[in-house]
Each structure stands twice: as structure tokens, then as C-alpha cells.
Structure 1
Amino acid sequence: MKQAADPALTVSRETEARLREFLALLRRWNLRINLVADRDETALWRRHVLDSLQLVPLLPEGAGPIVDLGSGAGFPGLVLAMVTGRPTHLIESDRRKAAFLGEAARSLGLGVVTVHPHRIEAAAPPPAAVVTARALAPLPELLRYAHPLLAPGGVALFPKGRRVQEELTAAVRGWTMHVERFPSRTDPVATILRLSEIHPAAGAHA
């Protein structure tokens, strides 16, 4: 598998081998339950692994926990756990997908990963240094989920598509936050939002 030239999307040979092992397991499970639409390993690497890897340089420094919302097939949560070794909490309410995530963590020896087979509102991970979510919900809803889970000084990393400005406009009606935007390295119309200092706006309800 040829890696991208972009150094932000490049990993060590050892990590790439683990990622390939993860994709092999994903493809086997995908025959039984619908985890991702892509079936080809090259497409999975390009559309899902690289898309997850580009979040790594944007993570806050330190070893604080990552909480991934609606983890699905493990993007970006499992990928971030493999690359960083940080405690990572995957929240996935679909029991079959949660079972896959648990099996992937066990087979890959990812002792830093904890799977929460619950709805986001019912999960109780530790206060998060960073909350991530990919293709889960519009930004105002993501902020409602993320706000109570973030530790003081924590940040949210949300990849977004071409409607990012529309979602930001809707979000600022109910929230105040510091917004940083980073162009996606894998999709020319996508943007990664790094949000900090997230608080309900005056008069708004979280």
C-alpha cells in the first residue's frame, strides 16, 4: 500500500502494518454487518484511514483522553488510538458496531481503548481533552453532545463538508466558541473545525 506523500498523513511501517490488520478485520466483519460502504482496501485507506490521520497534528498536546462520538467502524477513534497511544473512548450505540470495535481493540492489542455501547447522552467517559466525531450530526447537535464531555481547556475536532459555513452560522445562535479552520488534506471541499472555549450562549440551553 503506497502512502501519501503528505508527511501529516504518513505513519511508521509498524503503525501501517497495524492499520492494514485493522482494515482486514473490518473487511471481514463488513461481510456480515454494514460498517462502511467501501469494500476495497485501497478505497478504505484513502477515504477513511487518511481522513482520520489528518486529525493527528491537530490534537492538543499531552496525554489526555480522546472521546470519539458515534464511532461506527472506528474512524477516526481507533485510528487515533493506534497512532497516539492515548486513552481513547469510543461511544457507539449500535451493539453490532460496538462489538466490532471491541473485537478490533482486542485483536490489535489496544489496551488504551474503551468501548461504550450506549447512546452518547448515557455514556460516562472521563473528561475529554479532545472530542471527535466524523459524519455524525450537524454542528449544533455535535456541540450539545461534546460540551458536557470536555475537560476544562478541551477541544473538539469535527471534519465537515461543503456546508461548514452554514453549520457554523446555525451553531453560533446557541453557542460561543473559538473557531479554527483547517483545509482537509483528503477532500478539497472539506474543512476540519478545531473548536475550543465552547459554552452555551447567553439565554441558550445546551
Structure 2
Amino acid sequence: MTEDEAKAILSARVSRETFTRLELYAGLLIKWQKTINLVSPATLPQLWARHMLDSAQVIDHAPQDAKTWLDLGSGGGFPGLVCAAIAAESHPGLKIDLVEADLRKAAFLRETARQMGLSVGVFSRRIEDLPPQSADVISARALAPLVTLCGYAHRHLSDTGVALFQKGARHAEELETARQGWQMDVTVIPSVTDAEAVLFRIEDLTDV
């Protein structure tokens, strides 16, 4: 998928105001990338396809009535900040918090959210040190093995919460490993940007 194709898909699914916010975000990320490693440098030429559109698909699978969302290991803001930009119109009233222990990346997230006009929270601390959040939605992308993410989700999800975890080509192996320690209802959703990747939608997560 080309950058123009990814932009066209996004611009067709969101309002002009939201797309302008995403363009501002992309510009700020490219600027800050010069001093902070927000994304892999090799992926920067495919920013819209590899990161923006890939993140945008996540919000399609969040409950419409969700009130709180916790994005773990946000890094450069994927998928949390992209989802927050879209949610400002599609999920009014949804509060999104980003968790990023790296202080420089957390500063980027705060400043970018401010310039985008988004009301998001940023926790600049380790996930393990964060008090339980009882979130309706938890997301993570390129953060940790699924078995580790299940531990994070179990701590921070509400009883009826949904976890949305993006995984790559080894997703089946990761799911098999995670099931050895966790019981869960899993929906495996093919990625719209990568034929080998999926989105795990996890509910009813309990330890074995």
C-alpha cells in the first residue's frame, strides 16, 4: 500500500477536521523524530500506511459505549493518539489515557495532543507501577509478547473490558503460549494493512 492510498482511505473515513489533526500529528512526529526515536527510522517513509492507518483500524473494534481507554506503551502515539483523534468525533465522551515511561516520548505525546486539540491523559510511568485503571478498553502495539500483555490487561481492565492487541506474523504462536496461563474469549481480526498481521480482540480474561 502506498502512502497516497493510505491517506485516501483515512481521508474517506474521517472528517476533514480529524484528517487535518492527523496531518498535524504526522508533521510533528517527523520533526521530533530527528531528536527522539519515536518510530523505527526504516518505517518513516511509510508513516501513513505502517503507522497511521494501521492504528486507525483499532478503534473500529472498540465498544461504542466505552468510557475509558488505556493505551499501553504508547511510544510515538500508536495506536492511542490516532484513536484519540478519531474518537473525538466517533466516540464522544471517551477518555483516552496514554502510558509511556520514557519521559521524552511522554513530552512528545503531551505536546502533540495539545497542538491537536485533544484532551488525553499521559502517564509517564511504568505500566507495572500504575494503579489499576479499570479501563473499558486497553490497546497496545509492538509492546510485548501476548502473554505479558494479558498480565497488564488483567490488572487494568474493567470486569467487562475489551483488550485490543495488534500482533504480527507470529500471532498464532503467541496466542498458543498465552493460553497456557490465561483463559480468554478471542476474536482474531485480519489487519487491513498487513496480510500477516492481526488484531486480537480479547474479552473475559482470567488467569488459569
TM-score, normalised with respect to structure 2:
0.90
Identical aligned pairs, as a percentage? Answer: 47
- Give the structure 2 partner of residue 88 of structure 1: 96
Which 10-residue stretch deviates more, 1-10 or 40-49?
1-10
Q: CA deviation at 1:105?
A: 1.2
Size of the aligned set, in residue pairs, is 200
Structure 1 segments of 4 or more deviating over 3 A? 1-9, 38-42
Unaligned 5+ runs, structure 1: 202-206
Aligned equivalents of 1:74, 1:35: Cα separation in 2: 8
AA matched with 1:101:
L
Match of 2:164 in 1: 157
| TM-score, normalised relative to structure 1 | 0.91
**Root mean square deviation of aligned Cα:** 2.0
**Bigger mean CA deviation after superposition, 39-48 or 173-182:** 39-48
How has the CA–CA distance of structure 1 residues 24 and 40 changed in structure 2, closer, same or farther, with 3 Å as cutoff? farther
For structure 2, the residue ranges without an aligned partner over 5 or more in a row are: 89-93
Match of 1:107 among 91, 107, 115: 115
Alpha-carbon contact 2:97-2:122 (below 8 Å) kept: yes
The answer to whether the 8 A contact 2:11-2:19 is kept is no
| Aligned residue runs from structure 1 range 4-43, under 5 A | 4=6, 10-38=13-41, 43=46
2:72 corresponding residue in structure 1: 69
Alpha-carbon offset, residue 97 of structure 1:
0.5
Find out whether 1:192 has 2:195 as its counterpart: no
Residues 59, 130 of structure 1: 8 Å contact kept: yes
AA partner of residue 104 (structure 1): T
Name the aligned partner's letter for residue 146 of structure 1.
A
User: Are residues 136 and 67 of structure 1, via their aligned partners in 2, closer, same or farther at CA, if it must alter by over 3 Å?
Assistant: same
Give the C-alpha shift of residue 2 in structure 1. Answer: 3.9
Query: Could you tell me which residue of structure 2 aligns to residue 60 of structure 1?
Result: 63
Contact 1:9/1:54 (8 A) holds in 2? no
